[in-house]
Structure 1
Amino acid sequence: MSLLYSSAIPTESVTAIEAALIKVFNTTDVTSISLLAGGLSGAAVYKIVVGNQPYVLKLNAANNTAASTDNLALAAAAGIAPSLKYEDKPAGIVISDFIDNQPVRATFAPDKLIEKLADAIKAVHAIPFNGEGKDLFETVDALIEQFKNAKLLSGPLFDECFRYYETIKYRYPRTASDKVFSHNDLNPTNILGDGERIWIIDWDVAYLNDRYVDLANAANFFVQTPAQEHVLLNTYFDHVVDDHKMARFYVMRQVCRIIYSLLMFQLAGQQKPAGYTHDQEMEGIDLRAFGSLMALGKLSLAEYEGQLMYGKALFNEAVQQMRTPRFADAMAQFE
């Protein structure tokens, strides 16, 4: 089957993709093409079958090709990302091995999964990387400014949160030894399992960053208890964990929740129906309630209502955590 006859593939991409197929497989015959994901990341991801073997074809948006970096190649060479077959950065075309995903939460017991995540993060952070990093707090500052300018939501809760954030920004340690090659978006959609091990995909926003960002993001999605926090950090740090490391980890969890909430608000703003007024209510919207509605199929992160509610739930969780004695104790570690 030629790509020319597949409505799944954008017409303007066919020529470049067929050139890639010839280079990798010496054929343009594709048995099947199916869309795996697309929309939120600005990239379309397909499963293609060539010669009875499945592969992943990813089409990056024109402004999301990561043309100046080799993130995916580095991760694939390290055995953390699926094997890379082809990458054309200017054209935004990637072909890689297909992982027949078996959800990691169903495959591994919680503590075992956390150990595997910690080992994977450690392997990511061990990758030699000569690219430039970004200042984490400059990134957050820009997100906050964009949020305020958009005038989506406002009120005392937001003012309180941003006051806490300003304190974090000026007191959180900037340690050169903790700048490592980081994935920066370890959410469940980017973590696949094959039944034995985990694979990490979607390296578009990887760059030099604080090691605690990956640890915090993984924890925010997979860690439920203080005991599991200790499993994650003890595995990652080879059982050399002190109060200072715990403090940085805990504070970074709140920073990452703020980041994800602001990104969700951005998406909601883009998806908002014409003439629709955002619901300003923040009370009673938490991650448990959001998760229950997602599980029932009543919300979707691909749609406005799901994006807005998830942003609110993450924001509320960050504020609630920053009001606790544990947060005050963590911040005291930075004096």
Structure 2
Amino acid sequence: MSFQFQEVFPAERTAAINVAIETAFGGAKLEDVNLLTGGLSTAPVYKLTVDNRPYVMKLDVLHVAATVDLSEKVALAAQAGIAPALLYRNVESGITISDFVENKPIRSIFTGEVLADRLAGAVKKIHAVPYTIPGDDLKATIDHILTGFRQTNILSGEIPDECLRRYAEVREIYPWQDTDKVFSHNDLNPSNILCDGQDIWVIDWNTAFVNDRYVDLAGVANFFIHMPEQEAVFLKAYFGDELDEYKKARFYVMRQISRIIYALMMLHLAAKAKPADYKHDQDVAGVLLRDVGPAIGAGKLSLATYEGQFMYGKALMHEAVQQMRTARFEASLAMLKG
């Protein structure tokens, strides 16, 4: 690796990076390096160009990499054909090098029910990965997130109060202890779902572990599945002949749980990013997901900023409350309770 590129990387990791690049590419010339941005992960990710071909190098946080083999999940997902091909992995250094996916907006490649079908297929690939290490208890994790939200005092009022009150009811009914769990990505937001024009690829596997299958299903649906016809295709493509009313009910309830989780996480980030002496706008009723989502997609709002995080958090919370007021939600809760 030439000196000009060494200056791009953290000095304390240069030696390990040299080994990784030499092992992955041998004598091939490293032509360019760019730091990739846009995600919320603290792990630096670089685009490498070697012999006119792009690759991705990720540097996981060293103290995490030393205790958990994060690369094992990436390797298994790559073998399953759902993560980009892996060229190099080293547990001690926390470095992985993978193929780079020239991403095309997935909604421009697949639309409507075809998109629903392809996304269901991608989730099935993830859930078939033979990884067996469980993560933290889901209910306890949400309790922890709720505690953090309450401590921030960032948002109060009728809708936040109703959201937490309705979630308390869900908390007592949802079958958290169901032992039917699968390897789950746990953060299937659009920035982690790539499309090369033909196939769907999933990246950023740090938060993946064995979990409730409905977490991934609900996460994907909340970002991509918006019409009843799409939902029907999505669930049928995933469950096949095993689809029944119980599964539909559990899926719908988890969609609201997922919205609440993302809302609280966004609001927590906003609380940390809030400008000094800036008073939060407590209005939630006037913030709609159908307005905020497209604004983020168009680049008018950024999730890397206080304003974007705060608006998105409020929009998700409002949407969850609207859905939890419906007859379908009440019927779904009754189905789970029964």
Same fold by TM-score greater than 0.5: yes
Aligned counterparts of 1:123 and 1:252: Cα–Cα separation in 2: 20
Residue of structure 2 in register with 1:131 after alignment: 133
Give the 3 Å change call, closer, same or farther, for CA 291–331 of structure 1 in structure 2: same
Task: State the 1:238 CA deviation.
Answer: 1.2
Deviations, residues 36-88 of structure 1 (Å, cap 9, x unaligned) = 22551112222101233211011223455472452111111111101111123
Structure 1 counterpart of 2:78, one-letter code: A
Residue 254, structure 1, aligned to residue 269, structure 2: no
SS of the residue corresponding to residue 40 of structure 1 reads coil
Give the 3 Å change call, closer, same or farther, for CA 38–195 of structure 1 in structure 2: closer
Structure 2 counterpart of 1:56, one-letter code: V
Deviations, residues 187-221 of structure 1 (Å, cap 9, x unaligned) = 11111111111011110000111111100000000
Residue of structure 2 in register with 1:183 after alignment: 185
Q: Within 5 A, what are the aligned runs for 1:19-30?
A: 19-27=19-27, 29-30=29-30
Task: State the 1:35 CA deviation.
Answer: 2.2
Whether the aligned pair in 1 keeps the contact of 2:5 and 2:33 (CA below 8 Å) is: no
Task: State the 1:266 CA deviation.
Answer: 1.8
Whether the aligned pair in 2 keeps the contact of 1:251 and 1:331 (CA below 8 Å) is: yes
Moved more, 189-198 or 84-93: 84-93
Structure 2 counterpart of 1:61, one-letter code: V
Moved more, 311-320 or 47-56: 47-56
Moved more, 160-169 or 210-219: 160-169
Structure 1 counterpart of 2:15, one-letter code: T
Residue of structure 1 in register with 2:80 after alignment: 78
Aligned counterparts of 2:92 and 2:143: Cα–Cα separation in 1: 30
Identity of aligned residues (%): 50
Residue of structure 2 in register with 1:55 after alignment: 55
Whether the aligned pair in 2 keeps the contact of 1:44 and 1:60 (CA below 8 Å) is: yes
Whether the aligned pair in 2 keeps the contact of 1:3 and 1:30 (CA below 8 Å) is: no
Moved more, 64-73 or 175-184: 64-73
Give the 3 Å change call, closer, same or farther, for CA 87–223 of structure 1 in structure 2: same
Structure 2 counterpart of 1:13, one-letter code: R
Residue 297, structure 1, aligned to residue 292, structure 2: no
The count of residues paired between Structure 1 and Structure 2 equals 335
Q: Runs of 5+ in structure 2 lacking a partner?
A: none
Aligned counterparts of 2:63 and 2:229: Cα–Cα separation in 1: 41
Structure 2 counterpart of 1:16, one-letter code: A
Aligned counterparts of 2:253 and 2:220: Cα–Cα separation in 1: 14
SS of the residue corresponding to residue 31 of structure 1 reads strand
Structure 1 counterpart of 2:132, one-letter code: N
Aligned counterparts of 1:72 and 1:18: Cα–Cα separation in 2: 21
Whether the aligned pair in 1 keeps the contact of 2:138 and 2:176 (CA below 8 Å) is: no
Give the 3 Å change call, closer, same or farther, for CA 222–308 of structure 1 in structure 2: same
Whether the aligned pair in 1 keeps the contact of 2:159 and 2:285 (CA below 8 Å) is: no
Aligned counterparts of 1:96 and 1:297: Cα–Cα separation in 2: 28
Give the 3 Å change call, closer, same or farther, for CA 81–15 of structure 1 in structure 2: same
Residue 87, structure 1, aligned to residue 89, structure 2: yes
Residue of structure 2 in register with 1:210 after alignment: 212
Aligned counterparts of 2:232 and 2:9: Cα–Cα separation in 1: 46
Residue of structure 2 in register with 1:278 after alignment: 280
Task: State the 1:112 CA deviation.
Answer: 1.1
Deviations, residues 260-284 of structure 1 (Å, cap 9, x unaligned) = 1111112212222223222222121
SS of the residue corresponding to residue 55 of structure 2 reads strand
Note the aligned Cα RMSD (angstroms). 1.9
Q: Within 5 A, what are the aligned runs for 1:226-237?
A: 226-237=228-239
